[in-house]
């Protein structure tokens, strides 16, 4: 049993050490904030995008930094997962990207507002959150080279894998593309990618925001995807 004076001393010393520890940890945390948040990369566009994100109440459906709602996809690492091309296409017209499947509101953003939101999402993806959110064990990133050895275009990873699988990686909304080159020719891919609905009315595949060089690059790549990896 402690005497009254010993108990008082124990309380005073313990409280003092706890307060000092708290103050030191707080100071250390604030010292780390600029580096971990990549404050130097917080551009005026990203700041405008953050304010727009708040005004449109995006966190009413989405989550960033572990805060928000869980109705729609988590956005902390969306720039890394999808890339700017896919994000811009979704912000321009969510329904066009997933006809009849998406419930995201059409906000009619201007191109400047879209650029600001993309800048904001790019910045939050750079913030060091000590491993949060964790990477799903079954969602390893698709390799840069397809199963047949052909280099995978960057635009393929940003747009096509949102709906299609290749080599076991990607979405499941559309058919897998592992042997699509056995069914379609290069020229057919070009026509299809320019306007899928013109080739197949009623198709669920949207008209993607692709340039002619990107269409040509994708057509050349997809034409090599044949059964058994044979050219």
Residue 207 vs residues 15, 54, 204: alpha-carbon distances, Å = 65, 30, 10
| 108 and 179 share one domain | no
pLDDT at residue 1 is higher than 80: no
| 169 and 225 share one domain | yes
Residue 82, pLDDT score? 85
| 61 and 122 share one domain | yes
Q: Does 30 fall in a domain?
A: no
Taking every pair of Cα atoms in the chain, the longest distance, rounded to a whole number of angstroms, is: 92
Whole-structure pTM value: 0.70
| 95 and 160 share one domain | no
pLDDT at residue 172 is higher than 90: no
| 222 and 159 share one domain | yes
Residue 162, pLDDT score? 83
Residue 149, pLDDT score? 59
Final residue in a domain of this structure, among 126, 142, 173: 126
Q: How far apart are CA 86 and CA 217, in angstroms?
A: 17
- Tally helices (H) and strands (E) across the chain: 9, 4
Residue 120, pLDDT score? 97
Q: Does 8 fall in a domain?
A: no
Q: Does 7 fall in a domain?
A: no
| 177 and 217 share one domain | yes
pLDDT at residue 144 is higher than 80: no
pLDDT at residue 97 is higher than 90: no
Would you place residue 139 in the very low, low, confident or very high pLDDT band (cuts 50, 70, 90)? very low
Residue 44, pLDDT score? 95
Final residue in a domain of this structure, among 126, 144, 162: 126
Q: Does 114 fall in a domain?
A: yes
pLDDT at residue 57 is higher than 70: yes
pLDDT at residue 5 is higher than 80: yes
Residue 180, pLDDT score? 92
Residue 162, both tokens? 């949102």
Q: Does 43 fall in a domain?
A: yes
Q: Is 76 helix (H, G, I), strand (E, B) or coil?
A: coil
Q: Which residue has the tokens 């990896």?
A: 229
Task: Give the mean model confidence (pLDDT) for residues 114-125.
Answer: 96
User: Residue 145 half-sphere exposure, CB side, CA atoms within 13 Å?
Assistant: 5
Final residue in a domain of this structure, among 83, 111, 126: 126
Task: Give the mean model confidence (pLDDT) for residues 2-25.
Answer: 89
| 117 and 182 share one domain | no
Burial code of 43-68, b = ≥16 C-beta within 10 A, e = fewer? Answer: eebbebbbebbeeeebbebbbbeeeb
Q: Does 112 fall in a domain?
A: yes
Structural domain of 76? 39-126
**Count of domains observed in the chain:** 2
| 159 and 120 share one domain | no
Residue 228, pLDDT score? 58
Q: Does 224 fall in a domain?
A: yes
Check which CATH number belongs to the domain holding 208 and give it: 1.10.760.10
Comparison of pLDDT for 45 and 158, the residue scoring more? 45
Q: Does 159 fall in a domain?
A: yes
pLDDT at residue 141 is higher than 60: no
Residue 28, pLDDT score? 84
């Amino acid at each position: 049993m402690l005497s009254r004076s010993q108990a008082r001393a124990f309380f005073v010393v313990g409280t003092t050490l706890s307060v000092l520890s708290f103050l030191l940890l707080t100071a250390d945390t604030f010292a780390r904030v600029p580096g971990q948040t990549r404050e130097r990369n917080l551009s005026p566009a990203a700041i405008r995008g953050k304010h727009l994100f708040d005004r449109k109440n995006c966190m009413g459906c989405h989550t960033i930094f572990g805060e928000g709602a869980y109705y729609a996809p988590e956005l902390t690492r969306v720039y890394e997962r999808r890339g700017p091309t896919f994000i811009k296409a979704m912000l321009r017209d969510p329904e066009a990207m997933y006809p009849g499947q998406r419930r995201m509101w059409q906000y009619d953003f201007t191109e400047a507002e879209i650029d600001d939101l993309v800048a904001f999402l790019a910045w939050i993806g750079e913030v060091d959150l000590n491993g949060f959110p964790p990477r799903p064990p079954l969602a390893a990133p698709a390799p840069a080279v397809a199963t047949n050895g052909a280099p995978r275009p960057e635009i393929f990873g940003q747009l096509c894998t949102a709906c299609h699988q290749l080599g076991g990686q990607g979405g499941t909304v559309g058919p897998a593309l592992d042997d699509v080159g056995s069914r379609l020719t290069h020229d057919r891919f070009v026509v299809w990618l320019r306007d899928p609905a013109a080739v197949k009315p009623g198709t669920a595949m949207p008209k993607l925001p692709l340039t002619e060089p990107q269409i040509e690059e994708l057509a050349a790549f997809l034409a090599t995807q044949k059964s058994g990896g044979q050219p």
